[in-house]
Amino acid sequence: MPSTKKCIITIEIGTNAVRVVAFDLSGKTIASMKGSYPTFHSQPDFSEQDPEQIFITLLYVLKNLLNEYIHPSRTQVLSICFSASMHSVLAIDKSGIPLGNAITWADNRAQKEVQQLKNSPACNSIYTATGTPMHPMSPLFKIAWLKNNDKERFSNTSKFIQLKTYIIQQLTGEYLIDYSLASATGLLNIHTIEWEEEALAYAGINKGMLADPVPIFTSCGKLKKAYQNSLGLTAATQLIVGSSDGCLATLGAGVWGGQKATITIEDSGAVRVIGQKVLNDKQQRFFNYLLTENCYVSGGPTNSGGIIFEWFAKQFGDFKNPFDLEHTIEDLISVAAKVEAGADGLLFLPYLLGERAPIWDANARGVFFGINIKHERNHFVRAVIEGILFEIYSIGKILEEHSTIKSLSINGSFASIPLCAQIIADVFNKPVSISQHNYSVGAGAYLLSATEMGIFKDLDEAARSIVLTEQYFPKKNIHGVYMKHFEIFETLSTRLKPDFENVVSLQ
Amino acid sequence: MSQFLLRNDHSPELEPFVHILEFAQKKNNSINLNSFTDACSSYLRIYYILEGKFDWVINNKSYTLYPNDLGVILPGQHLCAEKGYLDIGSLYWLHLQLPLPEKTNKQSPDGWSQISSQELVSVKKILFLDSTPVLTRIPDAGSIFSSLRNELFNQEIGYVTRVNQLLDELLILLTRKFSQQQNLQRDFPQTFLKLEETLRKDLSHHWTVEEMAALVGLGTTAFSDKVKKFTGFSPMNYLINIRISEAIRLLKKPSVQVTDIALDTGFYSSQHFATTFKKLTGLTPSQFRKNNI
């Protein structure tokens, strides 16, 4: 008996976990499951993950979701679409076996390589060609680091791939990388969609050592027979290569041109716009990643997201039970909501992890500024939240120099806290909406699949289908208060640069 | 009574207790040069500070112990005073042979403990984790030491049982405090990462949920809930995924036998390994190896 029910599955290979979501054809979530894996820090600047563990975790979660909720014999799985965090690097040998762990986006080992390129004339032309900021996160520098510091691994490497490429290769046998992830490697010319010779030369590799870049809608082969059997799927399920988490979070938030920007804040954060043009910033403060031909997701990433507030909660929160961070954070948020906007002139620079956009200063550090004798703990809580959101605003502000932004769509666990959403509306002085989907990366991957299958005419129509549930509007007179504070915030973040450097030398 | 020294080779009080090598309380009023120099032993040494401030070097690291602090020196670790002599103050100490998990026979001198052999394995795992040898502010340990002293000197009916119970109590207290102090109780991701590293270092061990929970300093129920929420898996499934990830890595190295992989990665047998592996990947380990090399 042929089955009538149909679904689309999305797989997000995230920073800390893999999340598998099943959607019905109308975009409603049927089921969602996650499985986490650790990041290992064998040295202070290193962030690595075990590719086999990620693969097994993914397989396990996918299998459980299919068995518990979908029952492939009764519901047809039309397609599976992949997304992944950007900037990972995995070296594999000629048999496709990983040489060591994968290096993740958060790895900072390649600072010397960044400095070296920044001081060379090639810096500007490589940035203009690739759209990827000069930062240790970029695979370009990670590969250069391996060349300079891990000669054995480098010489045994047949290919440098991304985690998503590895997972897809395990499942189908094909080595592919989609345009979005390829454009986040610092090695792809986003204008010609070819690997950029000058960048390849700097990394010390040739293009045969990279996977083939393909459009995000591309089918990436058939599931190997063994996995078909263990998952209960058939060769009829289409595997779609998909895109990067950043691009899909933007699409999944319903942003597609139209003078809108997306703000995503989880542990880290980003402000992004989608447009037909590359934002060519003289100071190289933005990334420009390719979604489809002539369509770019541009913006700036920040290190200072929810992880900074978590740090504060762990140090100064009131833990009623061991490991009960969640309730501790809830208590702090409710405390912060009672404090006036601006925390009575207490400011916080959230640079505990250095900072990417807009100041791109790995040495930046955290600051509380303006403390007086009347400030209490509650003011500090509020100041930390406002500091994180001021940093987001500082990215938005320079984005507005290049494109018009009339409204904002937000996602991510930190940004979606009602207090934060309201502060974002007040600081930006723009209406803010939250999409109905809890997981906008998954939602974006669903839109991509549904467009590929002809449910939507194009991604533009797909993005418009996103229903925005909650709206926040800027409150009268509050924006002005915030701007007075922001002015000091902005001045401090640039003026303190030499002092940051001095203090880092003591740490 | 403010001072005493009981030693197994000449104190009748310790006769029923082969495992207590030395138990003492010392009030130190004067400085004797070279009275406290480097020593390493094959037994467990526990020091409890009553008064004063003691600067010690334990395994080449400096620590300062204050009243109510415990210094726990594991077999094979070195201890000496920073200045070579014992500082002024007063303290208890106990030298103890750790009970052996495999000797639950009450007649054997190693089988004095009532802690179940499985829990003893956990206790030892936790004690020997790379943790700080000083536990701060543990007044409960002080009460145990003074009860021990009273039992040994008064020898009322049932005192042999009580002494061993008190030693068990002390071991359990140490273990719990170690796992709690190791884990800041605020940062589950960090704690969980440490647990993962411990599991990976000793993957052939058949870990139980109780053992894993003990390493983190939580009860099993709280631990399972926390892990499920944080990782999406039950602790056991999480562990199986680590085992299979490691197995896959080894299967890709043609030089390692499948049977060895099964045992090295903590499966009970090749059969158990093959079944678990096939359920997830659709292939037996040998087929997987053929397809991947």
Question: pLDDT tens digit string along B145-200?
Answer: 999 999 999 999 999 999 999 999 999 999 988 887 777 678 889 889 999 999 99
Answer yes or no: do B176 and B191 share one domain. Answer: no
Residue B193 in contact with partner chain A when CB distance is under 8 A: yes
In chain B, residues with a C-beta closer than 8 Å to the C-beta of A325 are: 186-188
Q: Does residue B275 share a domain with residue B176?
A: no
pLDDT in tens, A144-154: 999 999 999 99
Residue A134 DSSP SS3: coil
Q: Which two tokens stand for residue A471?
A: 């709206």
| Residue A111 in tokens | 């600072």
pLDDT at A335 over 70: yes
| Matching CATH number, A254-303+403-472, of 3.30.420.40, 3.40.50.2300, 3.40.50.1820, 1.10.10.10 | 3.30.420.40
Task: Tell me how many residue pairs between chain A and chain B have CB atoms under 8 A apart.
Answer: 91
Averaged pLDDT, A217-230: 94
Q: Are residues B174 and B55 in the same domain?
A: yes
Q: Check whether residue B35 and residue B168 sit in a common domain.
A: yes
**Per-residue pLDDT, A3:** 52
Best B233, B237, B276, B291 member to test A by mutation, with max A CBs in 10 Å, is: B233
The domain boundary residue, chosen from B182, B216, B246: B182
Domain layout of chain A by residue ranges? 6-236, 254-303+403-472, 306-394+477-505
One domain, residues B204 and B165: no
Is the pTM value of this prediction over 0.85?
A: yes
Do residue A59 and residue B280 have CB atoms under 8 angstroms apart? yes
Domains A6-236 and A254-303+403-472 share a fold: yes
- Does any CB of chain A come closer than 8 Å to the CB of residue B281? yes
Find the domain containing B192 and state its range: 187-291
The residue type found at B195 is L
* Total count of domains within chain B: 2
CATH (domain of B141)? 2.60.120.10
The proportion of chain A whose per-residue pLDDT surpasses 70, expressed as a percent, equals 99
What's the topology of domain A6-236?
Nucleotidyltransferase; domain 5 (3.30.420)
- Which residue, among A52, A266, A309, would best test binding to B if mutated, counting the most B CBs under 10 Å from its CB? A52
Q: B176 and B199: one domain?
A: no
| A230–B280 C-beta distance less than 8 A | yes
Q: Which of residues 18-57 of B touch A (CB under 8 A)?
A: none
Q: Where are the alpha helices (DSSP H) in A400-439?
A: 418-428
pLDDT of residue A329: 95
Question: In whole angstroms, what is the distance from residue A490 CA to residue B24 CA?
Answer: 64
Chain B positions in Cβ-Cβ contact with residue A59 (cut-off 8 Å): 280-281
Distance CA B120, CA A352 (A): 42
Is the domain of B91 the same as that of B202?
no
Tell me, which fold does domain A306-394+477-505 have in CATH?
Nucleotidyltransferase; domain 5 (3.30.420)
Helix axes A306-316, A377-399, angle to 10 degrees: 170
* Partner residues linked to A361 by β-bridges: A355
A chain contacts of residue B249, beta-carbon cutoff 8 Å: 52, 98
Please report, for the domain that includes residue B259, its CATH number.
Answer: 1.10.10.60
Please identify every stretch of chain B with a pLDDT value under 50, giving residue numbers as ranges. 107
Residue B217: the pLDDT is 85
Inform me whether the C-beta atom of residue B197 falls under 8 Å from chain A C-beta atoms: yes
What is residue B293's predicted lDDT score, i.e. its pLDDT? 64
Q: What's the mean pLDDT in A328-357?
A: 96
Among B154, B182, B210, where does a domain finish?
B182
Tell me which residue in A34, A56, A229 faces B232 most closely, judged by beta carbons: A34
Q: Do B193 and A227 touch (CB under 8 A)?
A: no
Judged against a pLDDT cut of 50, whether residue A1 lies above it is answered with: no
Of the residues B182, B200, B221, the one at which a domain ends: B182
Cis peptide before A358 (omega within 30 of 0): yes
Q: With a CB-CB cutoff of 8 Å, which residues 74-103 of chain B face chain A?
A: none
Using CA atoms, how far residue A485 sits from A346, A348, A350, A472, A497, in Å, is 9, 10, 15, 21, 19
Mean pLDDT on A397-404: 93
Interchain pair B282, A33: CB under 8 A: no
Answer whether residue A397 shows pLDDT above 80. Answer: yes
Task: Check CB contact under 8 Å for B281 and A57.
Answer: no
> Is there a single domain that holds both residue B146 and residue B272?
no
At which residue do the structure tokens 């009916």 appear? B157
Nearest CB neighbour to B231, from listed A36, A56, A231? A36
pLDDT at B110: 65
- How far B270 CA lies from chain A's nearest CA (Å)? 19
Same domain (yes/no): B198, B155: no
